[in-house]
Amino acid sequence: ELDFEDYKSDMVKGLVHLFGADEEVVLSAAHAALTSLVGHMEATEKKEDPKAPSVSCGVHVAVVLEEVKSLAAQASDAGVTGFNRPKGLAPILPFFQQALMHGATPETREQAAEGLGELVQSTSEAALKPMVTQMSGPLIRIIGDRFPSQVKA
């Protein structure tokens, strides 16, 4: 098994960036690769402690937020092409959800909340609809828990 720990952040950034591509083959490959990377990171954690929450994706929240903001700024009114695909948000959500729920600092959690907001604003209603339940669970928990007001805003 190859150790690519030192390259994960660059891989995540590059793959999220590809969600802004226009070519379906690129979007499909980026989606599949990011899904696989997220699955690998979560599976690696579960090997160490099957009961522990997955947190490895949350470590990359700043990189993902930066790319999502960049994609949103360049997107048309229809939103980011890769986010608007069926389950297009599925491989991106773990980064924000894990940081929101288990982020080490209030700043990390605030970045995660901001990232979810960016995703909502840069994704079509049709693409958001199947993801609403998955996205709203952590947000509901944030409102009920003792989190700083910056995270709740």
Calculate Rg over the CA atoms of the chain: 15
State pTM to two decimals: 0.85
pLDDT per residue as tens digits for the range 80-122: 999 999 999 999 999 998 888 888 888 988 899 899 999 999 9
Answer for the pair 58, 95: CB distance below 8 angstroms, yes or no. yes
Q: Which two tokens stand for residue 114?
A: 């901001």
Q: Where are the beta strands (DSSP E) in the chain?
A: none
